[in-house]
Structure 1
Amino acid sequence: MRRSCAGLLPSGGQKLFNNRITWSITHMAQAGLLERPRRGVTRITGRGRKALAGHPDRVDMKVLSRFAEYREFRARRRRPAESAGEADLSPADASPLELIPHLVAEAHAALADELVERLRGAPPEFLGRCVVKLLSRMGYGGPEGEVRRLGGPG
């Protein structure tokens, strides 16, 4: 029985529909079907138009797996569990409690990949502002948070 997308995730922090859309965009962007030039903006690529023309009813993970970039993305997401010496668990073989650490590691890896991708696509000044903001939030600069960027990029 399929769950309705109208409700919230079990954590209660996000609507299920929004979560599914966000993950769909992430997966399609990793396959090169979509691009995200800036926050809140997603645009279909030429490759995405071809994939949609070839699969007008459904673009799923099976379709995405035809692209080398997507296969690499999926392989990168598995590395944290493998490096810990744990075998890949399938949902059929594991309890939900056993799957949680793997799913969290996958989500962290996907978020890290997306962050790196966005930082690489941004101007150097943006990276400088991000570093300053990060250092400030980490507590550098004392109680007043006096962290500032000196100089320019490069």
Structure 2
Amino acid sequence: MAIPDFQSVMRPVLQAVGDGVPLPLSALRVRIADVFKLTEEERKERLPSGNQTVINNRVGWARTYLNKAGLLTIPNKGMVQITVRGREALASGPERITVSWLKQFPEFADFHTAKPQVIDAAAVVDSDLAETTPDEQLAEAYQALQQSLADELLAQVRAATPSFFEQVVVDLMIAMGYGGSRKEAGKATQLTNDDGIDGIIKEDKLGLDVIYLQAKRWANTVHRPEIDKFIGALTRKRARKGVFITTSDFSTGAKDAALGLDIKVVLIDGIELARLMVEHNLGVSVKQVYEVKQIDSDYFSEE
């Protein structure tokens, strides 16, 4: 069975504590996973942030919403207990408790509508219909923004001049910790006039090893002959490491050519190039920072 959305989890959460006995949140999470017969893989599936499992996050938000609606109480840290209103919801409420249904309770309505005014309301997910938790919606929005940024960044690189693309390659290698100083890296990546190699860059500041580079600002797919030519040039140089960077992509044959060699050859296509540029803050700047905070349980520990 697939991992249920957090609204589908709400009634089972109430049922799990229906006997009125306070239940640890950790035990509640296990019970809900058992109710939905989740596989071991599904129980371990994590949010895009990697900070928490999906099912634990959804149970946590279900608990929060039910608590804000007065159907659950949190008698002690990490505990959950049903209320009289919660019992009534089990007895006469719907089979699937939703955000819309919870809005009949004034305290929940106040909680749910207490948010800053949004300029573009059409762009906001309707939380009454959403199947994901706020954490997941935030992560999905972040990933969408990152993908859009990477696409725009790659378009800019493809439209740049060959000399600027060479600078991008140098700056990226430096940002990733290679090449020593900017001046040294710039010299190292000047054309070597060796068929199949565009430049050489130090692997570290001491120059204990070097990396041979090939950079192609292409729109068309890079095929195997280009990789074979690069590998041949590396072999003639007795090189051990090479990086082939393109703004396009690699054919299956090209990827296969780089496998199973004594020489380590890394292929970086346009998508990976843009991702690395974003990761290392190359050609991008921080637009806005949001901090998502949580309770520091250690602060409240009296032990």
- TM-score when normalising by structure 1: 0.53
* 1:27 corresponds to which of 60, 65, 85: 65
Q: 2 CA distance for matches of 1:24 and 1:64?
A: 11
SS at match of 2:59: helix
Unaligned runs of 5+ in 2: 5-41, 127-139, 146-289
Aligned-residue offset at 1:35: 0.5
Alpha carbons 1:29, 1:35 under 8 Å: kept: yes
1:91 aligned partner: 125
Asked whether the 8 Å contact 1:91–1:99 carries over to 2, the reply is no
**In structure 1, C-alpha distance between the alignment counterparts of 2:103 and 2:47, rounded to whole Å:** 27
Displacement over 6 Å in runs of 4+? none
How has the CA–CA distance of structure 1 residues 69 and 98 changed in structure 2, closer, same or farther, with 3 Å as cutoff?
Answer: farther
Name the CA distance, whole Å, in 2 between partners of 1:10 and 1:37.
31
The structure-2 alpha-carbon separation of the partners of 1:65 and 1:99, relative to structure 1 and needing over 3 Å to count, comes to farther
Distance 1:99 1:45, change over 3 A: farther
**CA 1:31/1:12 → structure 2, altered by over 3 Å: closer, same or farther?**
same
Task: Decide whether the 8 Å contact of 1:33 with 1:47 is kept in 2.
Answer: yes
Deviations 1:86-109 (A, max 9, x none): 3433238xx934998xxx68x66x
Query: Take 1:60 and 1:67, find their aligned partners in 2: how far apart are those partners?
Result: 12
Give, as a single letter, the amino acid of the residue that structure 2 aligns with 1:69: E
Over 3 Å counting, the alpha-carbon distance change for 1:9 and 1:59 in structure 2 is: same
- Code of the residue aligned with 1:66 in structure 2: it is Q
Alpha-carbon distance in structure 2 between the residues aligned to 1:35 and 1:42 = 6
Question: Are 2:112 and 1:65 equivalent residues in the alignment?
Answer: no
Q: Return the letter of the residue paired with 2:98.
A: D
Change in Cα spacing, 1:97 to 1:8, as seen in structure 2 (3 Å) is: closer
Q: Which residue identity is paired with 2:124?
A: S
Kindly indicate whether the alpha-carbon contact (under 8 Å) linking 1:29 and 1:36 is maintained by their aligned counterparts in 2: yes
- Partners of 1:96 and 1:56 in 2: CA distance: 31
In structure 2, the residue corresponding to 1:66 is in which secondary structure?
coil
Decide whether the 8 Å contact of 1:52 with 1:59 is kept in 2. Answer: no
Q: How far does residue 56 in structure 1 lie from its aligned partner after superposition?
A: 5.3
Contact kept, 8 Å, 2:70 with 2:83, in 1: the verdict is yes
TM-score normalised to the size of structure 2? 0.29
Alignment of 1:57-136 (within 5 A): 57-76=95-114, 78-79=115-116, 82=117, 86-88=119-121, 89-91=123-125, 96-97=141-142
Query: Is the Cα contact below 8 Å between 2:3 and 2:55 reproduced in 1?
Result: no
Which of 11, 23, 33 is equivalent to 2:49? 11
- Secondary structure of the residue that 2:74 maps to in structure 1? strand
Q: 1:11 to 1:35 in 2, by over 3 A?
A: same
Q: Which has the larger radius of gyration?
A: 2
Contact 2:71–2:83 (8 Å) recurs in 1: yes
Counterpart Cα distance in 1 of 2:143 and 2:48: 17
Q: 1:55 corresponds to which residue?
A: 93
Tell me the percent identity.
Answer: 30
